[in-house]
Copies of this chain bind each other. A is one copy, B any other.
Amino acid sequence: MINNLDSEEIQQLLQSARVGRLGCVVNGDPYVVPINYEFRDGAIYGHSLPGLKISALRDNPRACVQVDKIESDLRWQSALAFGNFEELKDEAQRQEALTRLLAKYPLLTPVEWSMVQDADNQDVIVFRINIDRMTGVAWS
C-alpha cells in the first residue's frame, strides 16, 4: 500500500537521511546529483564547488531535494522538498552552515576544512534551499 507521509514524518526523513538528491534544471534538462546536507529551520543547507549545477541554480533557483529510506523493494519511504536556491554570502552565515555540515560529515575534504579556517576563501559555495513545499510517500 502507498500512503502519504505527513509533515512530521517528512521532516523526520529529512533529519535522518545522510544523502539527498538535489534536482534542478540545467540547460532545460532535469539534473540530479547526490549531496550531503543539513536540514534545519525549514531549509536544506549544502555546499558545492563552483560548476554547472551552481551556474544553473543561479539562473533558475527552483530546486528540489529527494531523500529516502529504502528497506526493501516492498518497504520504503521517499520525501521531496521543493524550494528556491539561495547562496549564502554573509560570512557568518557561511561559516555557521559549513561548520555544521563538517560536524555532520567529518570526513569531508581538506578543501572544506581550509575554508572554515580561512574566511576569505570564496571557492566553496555554501547555499540553502528554502523549502516552500514538501511531499512524501511510504510503501509498505
Q: A residues near B, CB below 8 A?
A: 19, 21, 23-25, 28-34, 36, 62-64, 66, 68, 70, 72-74, 76, 78, 80, 82, 105, 107-109
Contacts and interface: CB of A to CB of B under 8 A. Distances in A.
A99 to B, nearest CB: 16
Contacts of A64: 29-32
B33 A108 contact: no
A68 B109 CA distance: 19
Q: Is the interface of A mostly helix, strand, loop or mixed?
A: strand
A19 B74 CA distance: 13
Contact of A34 (B24, B62, B66, B107): B66
A23 B23 CA distance: 7
A22 to B, nearest CB: 8
A30 B30 contact: yes
Nearest to A108: B73
Contact of A107 (B28, B63, B72): B72
Given A29-B82, A78-B34, A66 B21 contact: yes
